Amino acid sequence: MKGGMSINVLVANRGEIACRVLRACKEAGIGTVAVCAPNDEGSLFTELADRVVVLQGDTIATTYLDQAQIIEAARSTGATAVHPGFGFLSERADFARAVSEAGLIWIGPSPEAIEKMGDKMTARQTMRAAGVPVIPGEEVEETDETDALQALREAANRVGYPLLLKASSGGGGKGMRAVHDPAEFEQAALGARREAVAAFGDGRIYIERLLSGSKHVEIQVLADSHGRTIHLGERECSVQRRHQKVFEEAPGPTMTPALREAMGSAAVAAAQAVDYVGAGTVEFLLAPTGEFFFLEMNTRIQVEHPVTELVTGVDIVREQLRIAKGEPMACGDLMIRGHAIEVRLYAEDAANGFLPSIGPLLVFRPPEGPGIRLDTGVREGDEVTPNYDPMLAKLIVWAPSRGEALQKMRRALDEFVVLGTTTNIRFLRELCDVAEVVSGNTTTTTIDDVWPQGWAPQVDEALVSASLLAASAAEALGLNRRTTQGASGKAGDGPNPFQTISRRFP
Amino acid sequence: MQHRYVGPKEPVEVNLTKQGDAWTHDGHRLELHGERLKITMADGTVHLAHAAKTGDVWWVHLNGHTFRWERMEPGATSSGHDGGLAAPMPGKVLEVLVDVGQSVTAGDALMVLEAMKMEHRIVATSGGVVTAVHFQANDQVAQGAALLSIEESN
């Protein structure tokens, strides 16, 4: 072992990101422990770990969010470090602190950095002090409802309409309201406060000017404990449905070297302002004017990190492990090569308001070929359940140019076969043909603008009748009597649940 | 051979023709190609399709599109009773759609069963008169249980 210490990593997560981290550990020669809820026993990620601890509990709160049980699992298996992945406990400062106090290495930034970025008002003030541009607006610290409302109204008049009300402890759209007219203000402010108190126990609200037609551009940063903080360029993630990213790419299609340099420097300044260590992402809104504004910092690995990996050649998770061991980062100067696109495959019915769907993965056959990467936590024979996030996989492609990457993505999506559960594959495929996506002029409202009445697939009639031929001939040929042999599906006697269960959710 | 599927409004009917080792419908032609289904479209283009069945539903992947076709089974397996319609699998009766004495024609939906968390329609295999309904809504039924009796009209 060259430098640093020897570590054993417990991955406090599940599914696709657990697989990603466990594999990176395997590549680095690091021992691994997986923790899983009872209903995840036998999942792909548990098979990639050296040891598995089954957490006792039947809810997320009593399993993947149970800090004491996870730390005990680390102790009992000899793990010396904890990687939180994304979601679950990844941005919980109290967990980072508890891990450190238990004598374990937290693979992420300090609890103080998480806290400073987690409270949005504190983050805005910290960024302003560090010279990072924030969206014009004001923070209101009053907690008494009457005083707060008065202060907010005065602040709103100074910021101007249209504006956004956001909860300081907010996230996921909770405690957030767009206000277009002063007459709507009071009701919106009271609603945002109510939601924020209910969801986060903190009713503090701040005001931002509403910047419509903006792009969502984020900068990946890495910082080690040897004083080096760098950025790995941008990712553009404007294409979103219900505030959820579905199509991400690097580099940004409208990015210029000068703007990348400016945004990269701002992101590095943001990280340094909180003494950041590890991998993190600084999110910006890029206005049509070319101005950019700090949105928030995600103090963890992100879902869309692979596009940065493909264009920079940096293995971000491997760097996280190096940094956690106290080693310097291995990556050199930033070099961006070619273009990468990621789409998120969800078990959802895109034609029906993107409602989650569940069912068996009777066939799960990902595309293959040069320039294609698949990050997933499932395989053929698995069951998609309503217990967890409906993301099945991330399909990522790389090609020398953006146009070629888009062509490769179309080909890959056409080849991707998932049968037994409704997915958004066709929606993603049609997205690749949308004029704004082809030109790169996407904004955060592109999906709503293109499909104001919701999306419905465009299918050729000849293909419909040929599919009926396939179904009928398959029935006549008795192909349904062929046993589907899955991970937990057993061939032989008795009805196979994977062949008989098909539910729609909800 | 006729196959029926649940359609958006009316059932979708497919009349399958077998020619040697190939099946045809609507000008398209299908041959088994190893484990996969080789389809020669009416316009001459060739695609390899994937198909898999869960419950009554056939899932088909063809040329980048995924289709979900729910079969309307003609009454499921014979129970040994004359004109009896048997439950295809254990489950619960959700709805009885016909009354004793009612005339039905082949393909009419008679009952809705919930089995393995999925709804199944029991449809008449032939025309006739319903002579008995053996279960009511919310009753549990065993696999093969006779659900209704129909006296076939000639």
DSSP assignment string, A11-59:
E---HHHHHHHHHHHHHTT-EEEEEE-GGGTT-HHHHTSSEEEE---SS
For residue A174, what pLDDT is reported? 77
Q: Kindly state the tokens that stand for A121.
A: 């008002």
CA A39 from centroid of its chain's CA atoms: 23
Residue A411 is a catalytic residue: no
Question: To the nearest 5 percent, what fractions of chain A are helix, strand and coil?
Answer: 35, 25, 40
CB A358 within 8 A of CB A385: yes
CA neighbor of B52 nearest in space, from A364, A424, A308, A290 = A364
> Do A353 and A227 share a structural domain?
yes
Q: Kindly state the tokens that stand for B124.
A: 């008449």
Single pTM value for the model: 0.83
Contact B89 A473 (CB under 8 A): no
The partner residue sitting opposite B23, judged by closest CB among A365, A457, A469, is A469
Task: Give contacts of B52 with chain A, Cβ < 8 Å.
Answer: 362-363, 419-420, 480, 484
Most A-contacting residue of B47, B61, B116 (CB-CB within 10 A), to test interface: B61
Q: Which residues contact A86 (CB under 8 A, 6 or more apart)?
A: A13, A17, A298, A300, A301, A302, A303
CB A219 within 8 A of CB A263: yes
For residue B115, what pLDDT is reported? 65
> Do A377 and A263 share a structural domain?
yes
> Do A221 and A189 share a structural domain?
no
> Do A412 and A341 share a structural domain?
yes
Distance CA A505, CA A44 (A): 23
Q: Looking at the domain assignment, is residue A121 inside a domain?
A: no
For residue B89, what pLDDT is reported? 67
Q: Looking at the domain assignment, is residue A466 inside a domain?
A: no
Residue of B nearest to A427 (CA): B65
> Do A149 and A79 share a structural domain?
no
Contact B61 A414 (CB under 8 A): no
Task: Give contacts of A365 with chain B, Cβ < 8 Å.
Answer: 50
CB proximity B71 to A under 8 Å: yes
CATH class of B84-152: mainly beta
Q: Looking at the domain assignment, is residue A34 inside a domain?
A: yes
Task: Give contacts of B47 with chain A, Cβ < 8 Å.
Answer: 466
CB pairs below 8 Å between A and B: how many?
156
The partner residue sitting opposite B117, judged by closest CB among A457, A469, A503, is A503
Strand partners for A249: A236, A341
For residue A502, what pLDDT is reported? 35
The partner residue sitting opposite A473, judged by closest CB among B12, B30, B67, is B30
Residues of chain A with pLDDT under 70: 1-4, 172, 480-506
Q: Kindly state the tokens that stand for B21.
A: 């080792």
> Do A84 and A34 share a structural domain?
yes
**Is residue A125 classed as helix, strand or coil in its secondary structure?**
helix
For residue A483, what pLDDT is reported? 39
Residue of A nearest to B1 (CA): A476
Phi, psi of A69 (to 5 degrees): -65, -40
The partner residue sitting opposite B63, judged by closest CB among A418, A463, A474, is A463
- The count of domains in chain A is 3
Structural domain that includes position A328: 215-450
Other CB atoms within a 10 A radius of the CB of residue B146 amount to 18
For residue B67, what pLDDT is reported? 97
Of A450, A468, A484, which closes a domain? A450
Distance CA A156, CA A479 (A): 65
**Is residue A160 classed as helix, strand or coil in its secondary structure?**
coil
For residue A197, what pLDDT is reported? 87
CB proximity A477 to B under 8 Å: yes
Task: Give contacts of A475 with chain B, Cβ < 8 Å.
Answer: 3, 53, 58, 71
Distance CA B118, CA A503 (A): 6
Of A450, A466, A497, which closes a domain? A450
Q: Looking at the domain assignment, is residue A293 inside a domain?
A: yes
Dihedral (C-alpha) A427, A432, A436, A438: value to the nearest 10 degrees?
180
CB proximity A412 to B under 8 Å: no
| pLDDT tens for each residue of A130-164 | 999 999 999 998 878 899 999 999 999 999 999 99
pLDDT, tens digit only, all 154 positions of chain B: 789 999 888 899 999 999 999 999 999 999 998 878 999 999 999 999 999 999 889 999 999 999 999 998 765 433 333 445 777 666 788 889 999 999 988 778 888 887 655 667 788 877 889 988 989 998 888 767 788 888 877 5
CA A141 from centroid of its chain's CA atoms: 30
> Do A410 and A372 share a structural domain?
yes
CB proximity A456 to B under 8 Å: no
CB A483 within 8 A of CB B11: no
Write out the residue limits of the CATH 2.40.50.100 domain(s) in chain B.
84-152
Q: Looking at the domain assignment, is residue A28 inside a domain?
A: yes
CA neighbor of A8 nearest in space, from A377, A111, A22, A16 = A22
CB proximity B55 to A under 8 Å: yes
For residue A491, what pLDDT is reported? 35
- Give the CB-side neighbour count of residue B52, counting CA atoms within 13 A: 26
Specify the CATH number for the domain of residue A30. 3.40.50.20
Distance CA A297, CA A272 (A): 12
CB proximity A381 to B under 8 Å: no
